[in-house]
Amino acid sequence: MVFEKFFQKQKESEPTSPPSTEAKTDVTTDNDSNENRYINALKDCKPTALEDYGYYFFPERFGKENVLTISQRVLQLSIPFASASRDLARKIECEKYIIKSIESNPLIKTLVQALADHNCPIDLSRHFSCEQCDDAMPTGMFDPATNQIVVCKNHILHFDDCIITGLVQAFDYCRKKYDVHNLHHFACSQIRALNFTDCS
């Protein structure tokens, strides 16, 4: 969709260079091995009967059906397309907003570069997902189970804040042993993210 077209433009504009003959060496700045780097990959962060991890805000995450409220149905009727086309139009609009935010917002550019510097480059088509969200969740989140930043395509008012919050959490997950089951880790990451968005 939009992300694929964006990457094609980037690849066409990049100059091609001959492959390097030097042997590449693996440079690691941490003493941790790659196996222990992503502690959440060793855990099952998918929703269970006892812990939901907030996935009820994102009904499309694990194949649940999204039930629309009456107000959402009325709003959906305002877009003059079939139901599938409306969802596709919202998803394309959401992806365009993500690309625009990454290209124009200096803080988002800095966070994306920081992730790349810590050997966690962002691939828009892999690490961002535009989904329908519950009305109680106005922005989005970082999903450690799939390593994606979920952006609510039906709530585009605070778009940059959502992306910044997700990128800060992704950075914490990449840089340190961020454990979603540890409330101290979660609180510190949320405070850092909110410091960038709400306190600046």
Q: Which of residues 160 and 138 earns the better pLDDT score?
A: 160
The predicted structure's pLDDT at residue 108: 92
pLDDT at 115 over 60: yes
pLDDT in tens, 37-73: 444 444 455 555 545 445 544 555 555 555 556 665 5
In a domain, 33, yes or no: no
Q: Return the pLDDT at 79.
A: 55
In total, how many domains does the chain have? Answer: 1
On whether residue 57 sits in a domain, the answer given is yes
Q: Which residues of 92-131 are buried (b: 16+ CB within 10 A; e: fewer)?
A: eebbebbeebbeebebbeebbebbeeeebebebeebbbbb
35 falls within a domain:
no
34 in a domain, yes or no?
A: no
The domain in which residue 72 lies consists of 46-197
